[in-house]
Structures are given as C-alpha cells and as structure tokens.
Amino acid sequence: MIKVVVKIVLFAAICLGGILPANAQLVKRRKLSVKEQLSLERQRTDSLSALIEEYRIREGELQEALQKKQEAEKYQPKPLFTVNYTPEHADSLAEQLKVEQVNKAFQNFFEEYVCEPQTLVSDTALDSLYTSRLNKLVSPIHLPYNELVRSYIKRYTDSSGLMKRVLSLAQYYFPMIEQELLNAGLPVELRTMAIIESALQATAVSRVGASGLWQFMPVTARAYGLEVNSMVDERFDPAKSTVAACKYMRDLYNMYDDWSLAIAAYNCGPGNVNKALARTGGNPKSFWDVYWHLPRETRGYVPAFIAASYAYAYHEAHNITYSEPPMPIAVDTIQVTRLLHLEQVSSTIDVTTDALKLLNPQYKLDVIPATNKQYTLVLPTNRITEYISHQDSIFAKDSTYLKEYLNPTAVQKKIAETTTTYRVKKGDTLGAIARRYGVTTKQLMTWNNLKSANRLSIGQRLQIRKR
C-alpha cells in the first residue's frame, strides 16, 4: 500500500511540475517577494496533499470492493465444467460419466458384503456359512439352502473361470437388465436368470435352438414381440430380448404367485409345471413341493439360480476376479431408416466391425434391413457425433457394401452360405466336424452351448456359422 501511495505522489508531482512552471513564467517578469514565494509553495503543497488524499480514498474504495467480491465468491457455486468444447469432446465426457456410473454401481453392490477370510474344516461349518450368507440376501425371491444348492455353489465358485467371464460381461449387461426389471416392477434379483440361461452370452444357441441372453425359442420370441427372420433375430438383441423376458416372467408369476414355480416354468414351460402340480396332489405351493415330478433338467434349475445369485454376490469371498468386458460399457443408439451394412460404418468412423457385431448381434448378415421400418444401431457413446457428422459419407457407400444384399436372391444365397446344420453320426468328433467346415472346435462349442468337446450324441444337431 505504501509503495502505491509513493508512486501516486511521484506521478502527481510530475503532473504539477508540468503545470506550475507555466504560472511561474507569468511572474518571471518581476522578482517575487519572499511572501509571494511562500504562498506559491503553500499552493503547491496543498495541491499535492489534496491529490494524495483523493487517491487514498479511491484506493480504499477499490480494496473494499475487492474484499466484498472475494467474500461473495466463497458462496457462489463453482461451475463443474466449461461449455467451451466440441461435440466430440461432449461425447467423450458423456462416455466417461457413463463408465464411472456403471463402475460405481457395479462395485457398490459387492461392497455391501464384507467377507472376512475363514478357515473351513468341515461341511457343517461350510453349510452354516452358506446359509448365513444366503439369509443376508433379502429378496422377494426365496433363496433356501440345501445340499443340492451347495453342489451348484461349488460349481459356480470353482476354478473353471465361468464366474470370472460372467462378472466381466455383467458390467455391460446387468445395468440394462436391472433397469428393465425395475421398469416392469420385477425383483432385480431375476438378473441371475440370464446367468443360468446363457452365462451372459448374447449369441448363445442351445442344442434345441433356444437363442440369446434369455434363450427364447422362436415361437415364444414372436409371441412376445421379437422379430425372428432371415435378416434379423431379436432374440440376440440384449435390450429387446430383456424386455420380452420381463413380460414372460411377469406372466408366469401371475400364473403361479410364486417365484420358484415361475422360474421353473421359464425353463420347462408352464405345461410341465402344471402337470407336476397335478401329480403332486394336495396343495403344492413351491418348486420344492413338486421337485420330483418336474423334468430332470428343471430340477436343477432353481438350485442353480440360487447358487448363481450367491456366487454373484459373494465372488470376492471365493477370490474370483474379473476384467473389463470385450465391448465398450458406454453406448448410445442411432435410429437407422435405410438399408445399412455394418462395414459402411466401420470403414468411415473409428469403430471396428467386431465391436459393432458385439453391440448389434441381432443383425444376422451384418445388414440393418431398414426399408419399411426403422431399426436401432448401437454405437460407443464417444462415436455418436462422429457418426452423425459423417452420415452422408456412410450412406454413400451403399453400392460398395450392399450390392449383393439389394438382390433378394443373393440374400437367400448368403443365408444358406452363412448357417448350416449338421447331424452328428457314429464316430464323429467335434474336432473332425470343425476341420470339415473350416471352423474351430471352440467356435462349435460356443455356437451350440457345449460344455465339453467330448460329449456328442448320435443324431444331435450342430449349428455351424460361416461369417
């Protein structure tokens, strides 16, 4: 403050020095008396004092205003981010936010269960521990414990890597599944159904033809609004098939008013459950009352559901770790209103065809057949703006990528070339079949939901894809 005042005084002195000599010239014609000189000096001093005082007042006012501003800013909310960014930057921020939200929600579920290390020396201790943990999973769906459930818990928590793969995929699929369950007013614990149906493999196909996350047969899928034809199979669409599964599970629950029976009916159909109820006699009220009258596969279905629920909740207690999912977690959708090949997109913007197939498995020939209605294209969130800005360039590639698909005859030929069915004969091995069709044993196991490469049955049908 003193330095500022000194500078002001010097500046004032220079200014006055430029003015006073002019007055002095007026009196230079005659010699000034001592009295007049003293009067002139007094005027000079008064002027400097007045100027200094004025600047002191101004400096004080500025300091006071600055202090008030700083005090006011303490109570003003600071902006979280500025708006000086490009649309691409906005997409990137949206992607980052989505990933953080999903990761936080995914972790919070498991952090609710603090599992201390324990040394278990007997089955009795193990049974007590499993029972205690299941009792803590309070749910509208009853999760009882018994020896059968224990056998499935061991299966889901062993070293096979199943739950590791499931947990990885759950980061992508479970937020969407949970949202649809909540929208339908169903218990979120039913998400575990997708684990025991498909191990969260959106392209899973059973040996009898049930397909997708929720393993719909074609008739049931169409009954619940899913499109199944040569170009599109919405059983493989994670979002739409989940909506259909929620409707189906709601109908089954309304039929039985018991979740264990509804879950069993999802596996074997309400007809088989109704026959089991009739054969039991009395007044059966749950899955356990009709257990011995159900198909053999269904007897293990509800225990598997309980065990998978346990393994999902308590995976950390069994040292099960997981990695990032193979697809981007943050995604968004574009509505497509004209014929489009996925490679038109991947060849134009920064996203691979493999990523597009993972996100859009319902398009059997990698073609979105949007001629009479619109279809959904799922993209990574950070590529939405890029797609929109390059849309004209994408659709300009029709003649390059859609030539063979614009002819209906060519489409049918392509379908025949893409998928075939092989009936297993005596002496066949999975490796020999794979070599015959130029695919891998692992692909055959994935396409047909086979758990072992050494278990084939004569007459068994194998789906073989060539993509």
296-336 pLDDT tens trace:
888 989 999 999 999 999 999 999 999 999 999 999 999 99
Per-residue model confidence (pLDDT) at position 25: 47
Query: Would you say residue 408 has pLDDT above 60?
Result: no
Report for 51-55, 243-247, 367-371: range of highest mean pLDDT: 243-247
Mean pLDDT (the chain, rounded): 81
Band of pLDDT at residue 467, cut at 50, 70 and 90 = very low
Which segment of 18-32, 154-168, 285-299, 427-441 scores lowest on mean pLDDT? 18-32
Q: Are 386 and 353 in contact (CB under 8 A)?
A: no
When computed from its CA atoms, the radius of gyration of the chain, rounded to whole angstroms, is: 38
Band of pLDDT at residue 27, cut at 50, 70 and 90 = very low
Per-residue model confidence (pLDDT) at position 318: 92
Query: Averaged over 415-424, what is the pLDDT?
Result: 71
Band of pLDDT at residue 346, cut at 50, 70 and 90 = very high
Per-residue model confidence (pLDDT) at position 30: 61
Whole-number Cα distances in Å, 283 to 30, 260, 276, 278, 289: 134, 15, 12, 9, 9
Distance, in Å, from the CA atom of 460 to the CA atom of 452, rounded to the nearest integer, reads: 14
Pick the closest to residue 165 from 325, 13, 403, 398 (CA basis).
325
* 284-296 confidence digits (pLDDT tens): 889 999 999 999 8
Whole-number Cα distances in Å, 445 to 196, 210, 440, 453, 458: 17, 15, 9, 7, 16
CA atoms within a 13 Å half-sphere pointing along the CA-CB vector of 10: 6
Backbone phi and psi for residue 421, each to the nearest 5 degrees, phi listed first: -115, 130
Per-residue model confidence (pLDDT) at position 49: 72
Q: What CATH code would you report for 113-318?
A: 1.10.530.10
Band of pLDDT at residue 269, cut at 50, 70 and 90 = very high
Residue ranges per structural domain of the chain: 2-74, 113-318, 331-407, 415-465
* 49-79 confidence digits (pLDDT tens): 777 777 778 777 888 888 877 777 666 655 5
Band of pLDDT at residue 112, cut at 50, 70 and 90 = very low
- CB count within 10 Å of CB 174 equals 24
Query: Would you say residue 118 has pLDDT above 50?
Result: no
Band of pLDDT at residue 117, cut at 50, 70 and 90 = very low
Band of pLDDT at residue 259, cut at 50, 70 and 90 = very high
5-9: long-range pairs with CB below 8 Å, 24+: 5/52, 5/55, 5/56, 5/59, 8/51, 8/52, 8/55, 9/48, 9/52
Q: Is 197 among the catalytic positions?
A: yes
Band of pLDDT at residue 262, cut at 50, 70 and 90 = very high
Q: Is 363 left (phi over 0), alpha (psi -120 to 50) or beta?
A: beta
Selected residue with higher pLDDT from 391 and 51? 391
User: 415-465, which class in CATH?
Assistant: alpha beta
Catalytic-role residue among 178, 180, 189, 197: 197
Per-residue model confidence (pLDDT) at position 230: 85
Query: Would you say residue 377 has pLDDT above 90?
Result: yes
> Which secondary structure element, helix H or strand E, spans residue 389, and what is its range?
helix 384-389
Distance, in Å, from the CA atom of 226 to the CA atom of 55, rounded to the nearest integer, reads: 81
Query: Would you say residue 134 has pLDDT above 70?
Result: yes
Query: Averaged over 373-396, what is the pLDDT?
Result: 94
Backbone phi and psi for residue 402, each to the nearest 5 degrees, phi listed first: -115, 5
